[in-house]
Structure 1
Amino acid sequence: MSERSTAPGSPTRWATDTGPEHSQWYVDRFRQLAAEGADLAGEARLVDALVPPRSRILDAGCGTGRVGAELAARGHTVVGVDADPVLVEAARADHPGPRWLVADLATLDLATAGEPEPFDAAVLAGNVMTFVAAGTEVAVLRQVAAHVRPDGVIAIGFGTDRGYPLADFDAHVAAAGLRRDHRFATWDLRPWHDDADFAVSVLRRPA
């Protein structure tokens, strides 16, 4: 496992590894894709299949809100959090309904924000785990898991070529007290294979 020693509270790699205009570019990109009718709901379809109707779902690293918004449209109660206020503001503007909050996943404490009720599931889409501050991966997984009820699920997807080896991720999952139930190569459940360029892991918080 590679050395990752940054403490929780450090700037995310989203902030340190991208330019000052990147967040607005990201907002504009997904608004354009939505306007063109692109399918932006793949992650939400998978999460919807993992939970009962009218579940409570945490969109962790929600970005512009596209995943959480689709889950809300499917009848779920959604709270989305992201460390980037530009993205959260876009989510609030484009997708009213869910609650969108600015928060660092490594120190996440939604009870203090008026959300003490546990979630049935959490989703980390859009390469979230590759953008958290280096060294906070276990803290992020632990804090997200702490907001999920026992036996709840956490779905996480990221590119396998983005500097975060799957062996490290699996070790961090174990260190956070989670177990992996499934792994797929895409959000539409194509079978996992070792040379896949994307990994979707379905984790569970033990009862």
Structure 2
Amino acid sequence: MSADWLEDTRTSYDTVAASYTELVRDRLAELPHLLSALAAFAELVRSDGGGPVADVGCGPGHVSAHLRGLGVDVMGVDLSPAMIEIARAEHPGVRFEVGSMTELDLADGSLAGVLAWWSLIHVPDDSVPGVFEGFRRVLRPGGRVLLGFHLGEESRHKTEGYGGHPMNLMVHRRTPARVAEWLREAGFAVEAETVLDRDGEHPGCILFARAPG
């Protein structure tokens, strides 16, 4: 496994972009708990007065487009140029940019919210604190964060996926307590936690947090 996890992640998702898009395009409609979390996030941003939101690790843009439909001024950021190309083609009403959550090209205090929707799962443990510090930097005081991630305590090396295409990246499962601790260390207040499919094959967790101020 290469030490350059960012490059491995970019290359892997460039490779699977088309097949991944086909897999997830209509998936949200089948996931009412996720839809309710996104609706709550949109309402929280609106109740704070609105403002721009970044969907970091947006993939093909389907979640960004859903938030746009909920009245959120959203932009999508993804490491994979192939994913961004698809997102721009399929959701022309939303702004999408190639970029990394490890170094967001956004002004300090410029966002009302940050969404990281199962996009932290490839970030190594030692890089997560820096990512959260970056989220805090770009959020205005009181800005909102919504995270979704795989639930568990193990990591695995993913070598293929989404139609059998080759991939080379790690997939990290984490406990809510560990992610919440990283958030608090970055200065966030954790406001809510929801565990999904706890007894199923793909357990996950959603955390709502808020920047200080």
TM-score, structure 1 as length reference: 0.76
Q: Give, in angstroms, the shift of residue 62 of structure 1.
A: 1.0
TM-aligned CA distance change 1:90 to 1:57, over 3 Å: same
Aligned to 1:197: 203
Closer, same or farther in 2 for the Cα pair 1:148/1:117, shift >3 Å?
closer
SS at match of 1:131: coil
The match for 1:21 among 15, 38, 45 is 15
Distance 1:143 1:107, change over 3 A: same
Which ranges of structure 1 fall in alignment gaps of 5 or more residues?
1-5
Contact 2:21 2:60 in 1 (8 A): yes
Contact 1:107 1:139 (8 Å CA) reproduced: no
1:21 & 1:13 partners in 2: Cα distance?
11
User: 1:32-80: CA deviations, max 9, x gaps?
Assistant: x36x965687153232122216532111111111111122122221111
Is 1:182 paired with 2:192?
A: yes
Residue identity matched to 2:103: T
Return the structure number with greater strand share: 2
Structure 2 residue 72 is the aligned partner of structure 1 residue 62:
no
**Pairwise CA distance, 1:166:** 3.2
Identical counterparts, % of pairs: 24
Aligned partners of 2:44, 2:7: CA distance in 1, in Å?
29
Distance 1:154 1:90, change over 3 A: same
Out of 134-143 and 46-55, give the one that drifted further. 46-55
Poorly superposed stretches of 4+, deviation over 4 Å = 36-41
What secondary structure, in the 3-state scheme, does the structure 2 residue paired with 1:155 have? strand
**Which position in structure 2 is the counterpart of 1:119?**
111
Question: Across the two proteins, how many residue pairs are aligned to each other?
Answer: 186
Letter in 2 for 1:23: A
What corresponds to 2:79 in structure 1?
A: 83
**Structure 2 portions without partners, runs of 5+:** 153-171
Does residue 52 in structure 1 map to residue 43 in structure 2?
no
CA distance in 1 between counterparts of 2:111 and 2:209 reads 14
After TM superposition, the score normalised by the length of structure 2 is 0.74
Q: Which residue of 1 aligns with 2:182?
A: 172
Aligned-pair Cα RMSD in Å: 3.1
- For the 8 Å contact 1:13–1:133, the answer to whether it is kept is no
